[in-house]
Amino acid sequence: MAIKITKNSKAFTITSSYSSPYANFRETLDELTDLTTNINGEEYLIGGDFNAHSQRWGYRDEDSRGKQLQEFIAENHIFLLNSSDSTPTIEHNNRQGWPDLTMVSNHSLAAICEWDVLEEESYSDHKFVKICINSNISSLSFARFKTAHGGHCKFVDLFKSKVQALRNLIYNSSNEEELNETTRTIQLEINITCKQVYEIKKKT
């Protein structure tokens, strides 16, 4: 099952997956590969009970499923939120397990995620897993300007003086956060210059 959330024209897909210990695990991985391919580079989160063992997410052993899943993670450059010292996600009759895994599409997304196993009653062998994405989503809204009656040469003359500084900001942006901030700065400088040259359109 998958749901897609779209905000400010940016899509984010959340997928829930289950693979029975008796199912063909390769088919599960193929389905996830198809999904990640079809969403065409959008960010995503995959949560599922994969019944796969690996020391990477808490088990003492590694089975064939665990090896296949680790290969899938590496090949698709996915980031696993679980860790080797994660709290067990299943406890029953003195038996512990770590079958419930959460993966995200890139390092930037993983860096703002908090992953935790809750101790509150779930009325199931499986415990609740809480995932928080600490993302501050902001949007800029600008006025619309009357540009049909000229003034473009004045705009170019005024904006010329800002170009070199903005170009330096672009060249010095070394990560996603810096590039986003540079983009906001460029938008603001264009808006400021427009206010100096053009009249603002009335809202309809």
Domains in the chain, number: 2
**Strands 129-133 and 113-117, sheet pairing:** antiparallel
Please give the chain's pLDDT, 204 residues, in tens.
788 888 777 889 999 999 999 999 999 999 999 988 888 778 999 999 999 999 999 999 999 999 999 999 998 889 999 988 899 999 888 889 999 999 999 888 888 889 999 998 888 889 999 999 887 655 555 678 888 888 889 889 988 888 888 888 898 888 888 888 888 888 878 888 888 888 887 765
Look up residue 141 and give its amino acid.
S
In whole angstroms, what is the distance from residue 30 CA to residue 17 CA? 12
113 contacts 73 by C-beta, under 8 angstroms: no
Look up residue 17 and give its amino acid.
S
In whole angstroms, what is the distance from residue 58 CA to residue 129 CA? 15
Place of tokens 């089975």: 63
Distance of CA 91 to the CA centre of its chain: 30
Distance of CA 25 to the CA centre of its chain: 25
Q: Which two tokens stand for residue 50?
A: 């994969």
DSSP 126: B
Ramachandran area for residue 193 (φ above 0: left; ψ -120 to 50: alpha; else beta): alpha
The residues near 74 (Cβ < 8 Å, ≥ 6 apart) are: none
Using alpha carbons only, give the angle 17, 24, 33 rounded to the nearest 5 degrees.
Answer: 50
- The answer to whether residues 39 and 124 belong to one domain is yes
- The answer to whether residues 54 and 94 belong to one domain is yes
Q: What is the pLDDT of residue 108?
A: 82
47 contacts 76 by C-beta, under 8 angstroms: no
**Strands 145-146 and 95-97, sheet pairing:** unpaired
pTM for the full predicted model: 0.65
By CB neighbour count within 10 A (0-12 exposed, 13-18 middle, 19+ buried), where does 19 fall? buried
CATH number at residue 15: 3.60.10.10
Q: What is the pLDDT of residue 47?
A: 96
Q: What is the pLDDT of residue 162?
A: 86
Look up residue 104 and give its amino acid.
V
- The answer to whether residues 59 and 98 belong to one domain is yes
- The answer to whether residues 17 and 111 belong to one domain is yes
Q: Cβ of 149: how many Cβ atoms within 10 Å?
A: 7
Choose one of 113, 133, 153: the last residue of a domain.
133
Q: What is the pLDDT of residue 93?
A: 84
Write out the residue range of the structural domain in which residue 103 sits: 2-133
Choose one of 133, 156, 174: the last residue of a domain.
133
